[in-house]
Structure 1
Amino acid sequence: MTDASPLMKRSLVDQALEQLRARINQGAWEVGQRLPTEPELAAELGISRNTVREAMRVLVFAGLIEIRQGDGSYLRARADPMDSLRTLTGCSMDQVREMRHILEVEAVGLAALRRTDEDLRLMQQALDLSGQHYHGELDTYICCDLQFHQHLIDAAHNPALSELYRYTSSIVSNHLRKTLDIYPRRQSVFDLHIELLEAVKQQDPQRAMALCRTLINEP
């Protein structure tokens, strides 16, 4: 009986999760809305308060629920980020390139029009650091390269684009790692980064977008 208790408890938490996720997906609460209290949810779902508490902890970890100390629980999002990450992780290299074309190329065009002197300083600083590690350890270079591209996207001054790139950067990182494991790093590819930054400095969106397309397609 003792051995079966954890399994039974886990099953109850899973059932609670299914019910809570169903309510979230069905729009029972708006994003940002305060959720019912644990006792209220327990009564509504017909389960114990402890089971509700454990289910809520899982939803907090998944990024769907936010608990504000002394205030209650609030709906943070409808989609589970982990589900999205699992989908993204299964994308092929060609699919990742398509995603980068849609997201990065347009963002770079906006960056060329909207960049500030501070944006240019941050991009130049990141590119200089990237150049120091271009022929060095792969993971260190990728980290530096992603920082440059993040500053580039941020220069578009569109929080949605910045957050989307930040969210997908781990997928871009995996794509770069696979590509650079197969093909040697070439100076000409790094030089494209230099040309891209120069186009942004000159506020030439068409050239910046063309260079970005080339860069994404390069192995």
Structure 2
Amino acid sequence: MTTLRREPLADQVADALLERIRNGEWELGQKLPGETSLAPQFGVGRSTIREAIRQLAGRGVLATRQGAGVFVSALDASDDWIQVLNSADIASVVEARIAIEVESCALAAERRTPADLRSMRRALAHRGLDQSSVEEHVDSDIDFHRSIVIAAHNTVLAELFEYFVPRSRQAMIELVRLRSEFGSEADQCIHAQILEAISVGDPQSAAALSRDHLLTLKTKLR
């Protein structure tokens, strides 16, 4: 079993997985073992493995193929791009979210399946639960927006979203702390309206609601 240090577990697992990929344990294009197999190797839960995989997907090392599993897409991480993301200010992060998520909402309204709608509704319901910390709220928010991106059925947008998640998560935590409040009924209502537009198959409304919401976040930085 791998011994982990005293720092965020998902970060440690991501580093350890990357090292094993660098050492040739898995070849380019090879499928990784499942979460239930990897979790005992690191002595962590499946959610930690899942977050570590998301981090490495965000760095271009892993690719998640819906219904197929997780595959090695690169044998090392692109540190230059990570440095660009890490140095981006919150406004730039919100603008990038607009580019990815507005189009995803429009496509989801056109392409969502019944299974996609069930997934989005579960994610929205979880987002609406009382959260004890900013981090929990942001994670549930990301999960909701991820469910929309998945419903768009565009692998490029899905990969961009996952690549961007670590920096987006950090920026959203900073933004929520600047606002000193989170999880309001009004905020949850906006997300419910986005889902409703997707549900009834209205791509224009879904995109407009998403854009307005994210632009409102941006204006609150001023």
Same fold by TM-score greater than 0.5: yes
Q: For residues 67 and 218 of structure 1, what CA distance do their matches in structure 2 show?
A: 46
Shift of 1:78: 8.6
Q: Where does 1:110-189 land on structure 2 (aligned, <5 Å)?
A: 110-133=107-130, 136-183=132-179, 184-185=181-182, 186-189=184-187
Gaps of at least 5 residues in structure 2 are: 1-15, 28-71, 218-222
Question: Larger Cα Rg: Structure 1 or Structure 2?
Answer: 1
Per-residue Cα deviation, 1:168-209 (whole angstroms, up to 9, x for no partner): 111111121111101123322221100000000011001000
| Partner-residue secondary structure (3-state), 2:128 | helix
* Residue 86 (structure 2) aligns with: 89
Q: Where does 1:58-97 land on structure 2 (aligned, <5 Å)?
A: 61=19, 67-68=25-26, 76-77=73-74, 80-97=77-94
The runs of at least 4 aligned residues of structure 1 exceeding 4 Å deviation read: 62-69
Q: 1:91 corresponds to which letter in structure 2?
A: A
* Residue 15 (structure 1) aligns with: none
* Residue 108 (structure 1) aligns with: 105
1:153 touches 1:161 (CA, 8 Å); kept in 2? Answer: yes
The answer on 1:204 being equivalent to 2:197 is no
- Supply the RMSD in Å over aligned alpha carbons: 2.5
Q: For residues 101 and 89 of structure 1, what CA distance do their matches in structure 2 show?
A: 18
| Partner-residue secondary structure (3-state), 1:218 | helix
Q: 1:79–1:106: structure 2 CA closer, same or farther, 3 Å change rule? A: farther
Q: 2:114 corresponds to which letter in structure 1?
A: D
Q: 1:126 corresponds to which letter in structure 2?
A: A
2:21 touches 2:75 (CA, 8 Å); kept in 1? Answer: no
1:154 touches 1:162 (CA, 8 Å); kept in 2? Answer: yes
Q: For residues 182 and 95 of structure 1, what CA distance do their matches in structure 2 show?
A: 16
* Residue 214 (structure 1) aligns with: 212
Higher relative contact order (CA 8 A, sep 6+): 2
Gaps of at least 5 residues in structure 1 are: 1-57, 70-74
Percent of matched pairs sharing the same residue? 29
1:101 touches 1:216 (CA, 8 Å); kept in 2? Answer: yes
* Residue 46 (structure 1) aligns with: none
Length-normalised TM-score, structure 1: 0.64
Q: 1:63–1:94: structure 2 CA closer, same or farther, 3 Å change rule? A: farther
How many residues of Structure 1 are paired with residues of Structure 2 in the alignment?
155
Shift of 1:76: 4.8
Q: For residues 64 and 218 of structure 1, what CA distance do their matches in structure 2 show?
A: 42
Length-normalised TM-score, structure 2: 0.63
Shift of 1:83: 2.4
Q: 1:128 corresponds to which letter in structure 2?
A: A
